[in-house]
Chains A and B, each alone.
Chain A
Amino acid sequence: MSVRPNARPMGHKPPFWRDRAKRALIFQVLVIAAVAAFLLYIVGNTQQNLASRGITTGFGFLDNTAGFGIVQSLIDYSSQSTYGRTFFVGLLNTLLVGGLGVLAATLIGFIVGIARLSPNWLIAKLAAAYIETFRNIPLLLQIFFWYFAVLRTLPGARDSLSFGEVFFLNVRGLYLPEPLFESGFGLIPLAFGVAIAASIALIVWNKRRHEATGKRLPAYWLSFALILGLPLLVLVASGVPITWDVPELRGFNFRGGVTVIPEFLALWLALSIYTASFIAEIVRSGIQAISHGQTEAAQALSLPRNLILRLVVIPQAMRVIIPPLTSQYLNLIKNSSLATAIGYPDLVSVFAGTTLNQTGQAIEVIAMTMAVYLSISLTVSMFMNWFNARVALVER
């Protein structure tokens, strides 16, 4: 008689290496320990190597005086500021061109993308030509093109193009008057805030009313008028408490007012136009991904054309558009580091350029710079994932 061994005597656990769950846990712990040990080794080894080669390490240099000038700074900066401050100046300049670049690229991209689907032959072909031209030329060349093309066509400081003796444009940049706020100006941001709150309330109320009664107001136009109108009204009522600091030619150049440097304009144009060509294709693919039956069904309900786009096509197209759009935003921000080629003082040019060279602390500076780009990218990516989750198709 053959006795089949009982699989598991009662009350007797198998050894832990036979338990799949525990085994998996053990392996994972081992892998994490190995990775951690490797990282520790790398860091320790780096420090030892740097020390034995007589190379200074550490972040103490951030408190030293930088001693060099930066042409564009959104925060207070002078050559007597610290290296730590140059980091923030560079970071803000990167964010400025990145943020405005994302806005402009999205705007141009959507317009061109929709134009490419236009039934008008000329508009569609123009959009196609735009896309094929700009996405097939390397970005660095486009930056050089805008920079040197813009520089070559602009006049010198003494023959500036003047717009009503208030705005001036020359090879050194665009000079705008700067508003100086007097006391009493605080009411205007307040009015702005009130208008925004009222608009949100209006939109919510309008939506409920629409769902309940089927009636509705043009709420978006109303809130637009409210947000624009209320602050203006307050401005006029309070006697316009603003004076303008108008730029004025003195010595070599204009003093006073706000200056937009040509490096910024060139970089911003190049980044926006280049990235917009990719966004346009993404928008087109998103719209074309919606089956034509959807449009026909909406037409059968006799919805007008603009409502078909707004209520049926675009919301569904957004699901296709947003994930690749996120990648384009990330690309644009990372591409802004090409600024250093034309001397726009972004993070790479100021911090990973001049500061690195003056202090020689390559590892610290490059690590900080990489951490910044990683954080910006992860933040944008998180936001876009959240937005995507909101508009994504809810499957039941």
Chain B
Amino acid sequence: MNNVHRSNRVTGVLAAALLLPGLALASTLETVKERGALRCGVNAAQPGFSALDDEDTYQGLDTDICRAVAAAALGEGARVDFVPLDSVERFAALQSGEVDVLSRTTTWTSTRDTTLGLHFVGVSYFDGQAFMVASDLGVQSAKELDGAAVCTQSGTTSELNLSDYFRLNGMSFDPVVFDAPEQSIVGFEEGRCDVLSTDASQLYAQRVQLADPDMAVVLPEIISKEPLGPAVRQGDDQWFNIVKWSLYALLNAEELGVTQANVDDMLDDDSPDVMRLLGRDGDYGEGMGLAADWAYQIVKQVGNYAEVFERSVGAGSPFNIGRGLNALWRDGGLHYAPPIR
């Protein structure tokens, strides 16, 4: 069960730290090429971000980031070994080298960025913590939740945000902390807690999974900033650049109107930005040790950010989450990728 996994992984990082004689780290890109597959740490079951579909393949926004990195690094987006991780074991798995990239609805915070030996490469989804309550409670606002029992998941930023929010608003609450999201949902359905609290995107996904989605409503308050993004180990700047620019390539492709469907036609486009993105003009993969067509491969095999978003969590998915903060900067959102040139 979960515990066994976790202790194995934690033991893994302990063993790695204890036994590796000095630092004999090959470049991550070399390792990935040699292995022929990217090892990517993801959620086990987080619909919209990373969950198994009917054909036992992981689908979702986080997993598509992994595919984009594999497309850039290996030329083939399908060559990803997905490693399901729970929220406690995820950092240990990245630190110990069990995964090359962690793309698992992980909030970018200063502690994680500066003390865990990790680098966050950017933001793939702008999220925020919210509350879901049973509709029959008749609660309209999170300010009415004084004294409520709140189900949440251990090892996430949610516990901290909850405490801060309730304390600042002079309210009390009982935290009921489970170690897997499935159990916190059961706890909520069984009435162990009045409120289920986690990132808004996850709440919408979990609401759809309830036996009766209409029994619950998500309250309008967003109580925190949760920039979710992929992370890599510190100490390999080349790999850091590859993952970072794979993410930016998705965003730049959307901005330039390059989609999975039209990417081959766009090869003949004479806009200089499109020519640079698709490797027709200059070689912008060279500095990362990649082929010149790295970004072409990403768009061809995975699509651009808009396509990834819509099919995972947006209009093309059961969750129907609007772009909101996750729109491009020119559409009023926050996504602004540096140019490829």
Interface residues of A (CB under 8 A from B): 42, 45-46, 48-50, 52-56, 67-71, 79-80, 140, 148, 151-152, 156, 171-172, 250-253, 255, 262-263, 337-338, 340-343, 345, 349, 353-354, 356-363, 366
Task: Indicate the member of B117, B191, B192 with the most A CB atoms within 10 Å.
Answer: B192
Q: Are A42 and B149 in contact (CB under 8 A)?
A: no
The answer to whether A53 and B95 have CB atoms under 8 Å apart is: yes
For the complex, count residues of B whose C-beta is within 8 A of A: 58
Of residues 224 through 246 on chain B, the ones whose CB sits less than 8 Å from some CB of chain A are: 233-235
Is the beta-carbon distance between A152 and B190 smaller than 8 angstroms? yes
- Chain B 148-187 interface 0/1 with A at a Cβ cutoff of 8 Å (1 = within): 1100001110011011101100000111111100010011
**What is the CA–CA distance of A67 and B234 in the complex, to the nearest angstrom?**
27
Report if A362-B87 is in contact (Cβ < 8 Å); known contacts: A71-B177, A253-B147. no
- Report yes or no: B175 in contact with A148, Cβ–Cβ below 8 A: no
Q: Decide yes or no whether B209 CB sits under 8 A from chain A.
A: no
Are A358 and B175 within 8 A (Cβ)? no
10 inter-chain pairs at a CB distance below 8 angstroms, sorted by A residue, are A42-B18, A56-B116, A79-B167, A140-B1, A151-B190, A151-B192, A253-B149, A349-B179, A354-B154, A362-B13
B88 within 8 Å of A by Cβ?
Answer: yes
- A354-B117 contact, Cβ under 8 Å, with A71-B175, A360-B111: no
Q: Is B235 within 8 A of A54, CB to CB?
A: yes
Q: For residue B179, which residue of chain A has the nearest CB?
A: A340
Q: How far is the CB of B1 from chain A (nearest CB, A)?
A: 6
> Chain B residues in contact with chain A, CB under 8 A?
1-3, 10, 13-14, 16-23, 87-88, 91-92, 95, 111-112, 114-117, 137, 145-149, 154-156, 159-160, 162-164, 166-167, 173-179, 183, 186-187, 190-192, 194, 233-235
Residue in chain B with minimal CB distance to A42: B18
> A360 → chain B, closest Cβ, in Å?
4
Q: Given A253-B148, A360-B115, 11 other A-B contacts at CB below 8 A?
A: A45-B18, A52-B235, A53-B235, A54-B235, A67-B164, A69-B174, A252-B146, A262-B192, A359-B111, A362-B10, A362-B14
* Contact between A341 and B1, CB atoms less than 8 A apart: yes
Of A69, A171, A337, A345, most B-chain CB atoms within 10 Å: A69
Contact A55 B159 (CB under 8 A): no
Contact of B95 with A55 in the complex, beta carbons under 8 Å:
yes
> When the two chains form their complex, are residues B159 and A68 in contact, meaning their CB atoms are under 8 A apart?
yes
Tell me if A71 and B234 are in contact (CB < 8 A). no
Contacts of A140 in B (CB 8 A): 1
Q: Is A172 a contact of B192 with CB atoms below 8 Å? A: yes
Q: Smallest CB–CB gap between B90 and chain A, Å?
A: 9
Q: When the two chains form their complex, are residues B194 and A252 in contact, meaning their CB atoms are under 8 A apart? A: yes
Q: How far is the CA of A357 from the CA of B93 in the complex (A)?
A: 13
**With A140-B1, A343-B183, A358-B111 known to touch, is A67 a contact of B163 (CB < 8 Å)?**
yes
- Shortest A336–chain B CB gap in Å is 12
Q: A54–B25 Cα gap in the complex (Å)?
A: 14
Assess the B163–A79 pair: CB atoms within 8 A: yes
User: B14, B87, B154 — which one has the most chain A CB atoms within 10 A of its CB?
Assistant: B154
List A contacts of B166 (CB < 8 A). 69
Are A54 and B163 within 8 A (Cβ)?
no
Closest approach, in angstroms, between the C-beta of A17 and any C-beta of chain B?
A: 34
Given that A341-B2, A360-B115, A362-B13 are known contacts, is A71 also in contact with B176, CB under 8 Å in the complex? yes
Q: For residue B4, which residue of chain A has the nearest CB?
A: A140
On whether the beta carbons of A252 and B147 are closer than 8 Å, the reply is: yes
**Contact of B17 (CB < 8 Å), options: A50, A255, A342, A360:** A50
Residues of B within 8 Å of A148, CB to CB, are 186, 190
Rounded to whole Å, the gap between the CB of B201 and the closest CB of chain A is 20
A67-B116 contact in complex given A343-B177, A349-B179, C-beta closer than 8 Å? no
* Given A54-B235, A140-B1, CB of A360 within 8 Å of CB of B91: yes
User: Which of A56, A252, A338, A354 is most buried by chain B, counting CB atoms within 10 A of its CB?
Assistant: A252
List the B residue with the shortest CB-CB distance to A367: B14
Chain A CB count within 10 A is highest, among B17, B95, B148, B194, for B17
A362 close to B92 (CB less than 8 A): yes
List residues of chain B with CB within 8 A of the CB of A71: 174-177
Give A70's nearest chain B residue, CB to CB.
B175
Residue among B20, B177, B187, B191 having the largest count of chain A Cβ atoms under 10 Å: B177
Assembly CA distance A69 to B152 (angstroms)? 11
For the complex formed, measure the closest distance between the CB of B45 and the CB atoms of chain A, giving whole angstroms: 16
Contact of A55 among B2, B116, B146 (CB under 8 A): B116
Residue on B with the closest CB to A52?
Answer: B23
List A contacts of B19 (CB < 8 A): 42, 45
Across the interface, A360 reaches (CB within 8 A) one of B112, B173, B177, B234, namely B112
Residue of B with least CB distance to A79: B163
Given that A53-B235, A148-B190, A252-B149 are known contacts, is A46 also in contact with B18, CB under 8 Å in the complex? yes
The residue of chain B having its C-beta at the shortest distance from the C-beta of A56 within the complex is B115
* A-chain residues with CB within 8 Å of residue B177 when the two chains form the complex: 71, 343, 345, 349, 353-354
Task: Name the one of A53, A56, A343 contacting B176, with C-beta atoms under 8 angstroms.
Answer: A343
Q: Are B23 and A353 in contact (CB under 8 A)?
A: no
- Check B192–A354 contact: CB distance below 8 A: no
List B contacts of A48 (CB < 8 A): 22
* Cross-chain contact B190 with A68 (CB below 8 angstroms): no
B159 with A69: CB separation less than 8 A: yes
